[in-house]
Structure formats: C-alpha cells, structure tokens
Amino acid sequence: MQIRESLVGMSVDVRRQLVLPGLTARFRFSASSDRGAVRKVNEDSFLASVPLFIVADGMGGHAFGDRASQATIAAFTDEFTTDAPALAQRVLDTIIRANDAVLALTADEGPGGAISGTTLTGMAFVDVGDDNDHWMAFNVGDSRTYSWDGRALNQMSVDHSAVQELVDLGHITKREAEKHPDRNIVTRALGADSEVDPDVWLLPAKGHQTFLLCSDGLTKELSDDEIARIMVFHHSEVLRESDALPLTLAERLVNAAIAAGGSDNVTVVVVESDLIGAAVADSGSVDDTVDRNAMATHLEETRPRA
C-alpha cells in the first residue's frame, strides 16, 4: 500500500515528528474510510496530516454529500503546512471558509436545486502563543471525537442531533437514542446556514495522548464499549507482535463496523501524540485553560455543552 500523509477515501498509517522549542512532538496516526455494505457512494472524507486530523460526513440523502465533505477537507488542505503547529484563529477562520464552500455547491444549483451539507469533527495541534502547544477540538454535527487513555473511551464532542437534544432534556436515555427513528437528524451542519456555529475547545498537549475521530457509520454499528474492546485488543496485539500488524487500528474499527451491518459509510481517524522534552517535564501542573486575551471570543469556551 502506498502511504501518503494526506489522503481522502482510503487507508493510511503514518509517523511524523515535529521539533519545537524545548520539546519534540511525535505523532502516529492511522485512518480508513469505506462506503460500507449498503451505500453505493462514500460521502465521507478525511484529512490525516500533522497538524490537522478531520472527519467530514456528507449528509445522507442530500445531493452532493460527497462533494460537500470533499470541499470541506479541501478548505483545510489548502490552508496549512505540515511542518509546524497550526494557529487556533486560522482553524476557526477555515471552518467558516469550509462552510462557505459547501454553501457555494448549493448556490451553483440555482433556486430549487439540490442541497449540500456535511458534518465536521476534528483535532488540530495548535500553538496558542509563546510556544504554548494545545490540542484544539472542533465539532459540527454528529460525527464524533473521543479521547482514549488506554482503558476508557471518553466522548469529548457532543452530537448536534435531534436525539441528543431529547437525551439532554431527559426525555430518552442514551441507549434509547441509539435506536430512535430520528437518530439521523442533525441540528447543525456545514452548508445548513450562512453562519456556522461549531463547538470549539482547547486542552493542553502533554505526555501521551490518543484521540479517535469517526463518522456515525462507526457508532451506528458499534457501542462505545465495543469500540473500547477493539482498541484494547489491538494494542495488546501491538505489544505481542512488536508493532508489525497487518491492520491498523482505524482499519480494524472500520472492518468491525462493516461486519456488524455496515449500514452507512464509515470513517475512522486515530491519532497518538507523545511530547518529549523539558517543556513537558512537569505536564501534571499544566492548567486546563490558556490566556485568550489575543484570541477570538469563540475560544473562551473550553468544553462543549454538557
């Protein structure tokens, strides 16, 4: 398999390193995308390339869903280099440009034409000033970002969906939401309005961290517990086989979703980071907030809504 650092619609397994003031940031990331067992077209797209990791899920049933997700990824690909952390404000600005790009697809169809839309979830390795490195998470729609500590899978993003709102109101349980007839209805998406309202938050980059990004094609078929079991099994195999495995973790998760039914396109990006050096020697004392005096008001939110 040919491996490149930024691909759409196939699998990658890449290692990268950034030498930064006072520390070295090492990354390993894998990504995989498949149309699934039912759909004829894969409307998902992804970007896996330091400093950006993104999954976009073109809205099913809408024309040009694949073009919408591809336009979103293209907006980010054109704006960032792969040899330095991103700037947080630039990530925010690119989300706005991506929304404009998706809106343009609908405009090209003229009045009464087809509607395009896509979800967006991502992690960006960013410098928030004074060589202060953080992970910046962002989300629009029901694609998800998780963190993984080696034992527990924690959903960081909050779905922008009709069923999540019912869960928030206490009308249904999270388990009931998994089978609810309205589970495919999203309440936010790129291309849905002239202004996009992403959840955005920051967390310190420190030590060893692992994040999993996915379209809902994964979470429709596998529960969080099932995903966690696959991750534990995969890492135990890595230790046994000295890291020489035929499948990446992203591929293993995609294959499991297809085997469980594969009712939708499924895309997974897994990124692991290790920060090594004097700047992270005392990572336990790093605060969960940063000085935002020179940053956008949007970044004052450091966590998505509960």
What would the pLDDT profile of 228-279 be if each residue is shown by its tens digit? 999 999 988 877 765 567 889 999 999 999 999 999 999 999 999 999 985 5
Please tell me which residue, 306 or 19, carries the higher pLDDT value.
19
What is the residue extent of each domain of the chain? 12-160+186-300
What residue has token string 């591929």?
251
Residue 203 pLDDT: 93
Is the predicted pLDDT of residue 305 greater than 60, yes or no? no
> Residues in the chain, how many?
306
Q: Are 123 and 211 in contact (CB under 8 A)?
A: yes
Residue 302 pLDDT: 43
Q: Taking residues 186-215, report their average pLDDT.
A: 94
Amino acid letter at 156?
M
**Closest to 211 (Cα-Cα) out of 134, 298, 289, 131:** 134
Q: Taking residues 170-181, report their average pLDDT.
A: 73
d(CA 106, CA 194): 12
Q: Taking residues 170-199, report their average pLDDT.
A: 82
CATH topology of domain 12-160+186-300: Phosphatase 2c; domain 1 (3.60.40)
Q: Taking residues 65-94, report their average pLDDT.
A: 92
Phi, psi (5° rounding) for residue 149? -105, 15
Please tell me which residue, 26 or 294, carries the higher pLDDT value.
26
Is the predicted pLDDT of residue 288 greater than 60, yes or no? no
4-13, 24-33, 64-73: least confidently modelled range: 4-13
Residue 114 pLDDT: 63
